[in-house]
Amino acid sequence: MTLSSGKPYKIWIIEDDENMQFVYRDIFSSQYELLFFASIESFVQGIALHQPPHLLILDLVFPDGLLYQAFPQHAPAFRQVPFIVVSALDEEEAVRASLKWGALDYITKPFGKSEILVKVEAHLNRCANKDDYQAIFNLDPLTLTIFNHSGRSAELTSKEFRIMSLFLDAHEYRISRKDIFETLWKNIRVSTKTLDVHLSNIRRKIEPLKLTITVTDSDYRIFEHDGSHFI
């Protein structure tokens, strides 16, 4: 994926685990220009010396501290560049601090390759089309709430929220059944009926927001509708 100039997008990755650095290279190096930092201090120095990247991917735990606790101290650096948190920490304090200081998303390790690719590509696509992009719905990760254009909202469960975030980040709001299972349940075996129940509950909640989910043999898609037919 490249800019209109033909140059690749730049992604900086703040991650001290060499195995994880290898994983990121395997996923992203063929499409993007990557630069790695293995500590909070080296990142802060780097952003002061170099042109900021288009996106940051960052862990939270480093030998020189917990990054989410350092957000207030280094606020300009994190408000200057869009960032996604990818961390094994699943603590409410870490999630809230990350989202408060501007994280686009919070992905817990271990993650699926398709999950992080979708998130990164969706953000960079929005950067490329920011003048004419308008999502048909938005999500509030702090309250697990979905909103439509008119401000009508509905509360979701955590699983429902993750499914809707996949729709939001997908091209044409279309996602495959395989992607949902890999993202939500990873290697855990669950029946298709479990997913059907979640989608049925989501449909019921988003109907008053004039949104609906259609299904084919292999994927799902969200549409806006006017109350009587799709548009």
Domains of the chain: 10-128 (3.40.50.2300), 138-224 (1.10.10.10)
Token pair listed for 21: 């650095």
| Predicted confidence (pLDDT) per residue in 68-91, tens digit | 888 887 766 666 678 899 998 888
pLDDT, residue 79, reads: 67
For residue range 100-134, list pLDDT tens digits in order.
777 888 888 888 888 888 888 877 876 655 444 46
Q: Is the pLDDT of residue 230 over 50?
A: no
pTM: 0.60
pLDDT tens digits, one per residue of 180-197: 888 888 777 888 888 889
CA atoms of 8 and 3, how far apart (whole Å): 6
* Cβ neighbours around 70 below 10 Å, total: 21
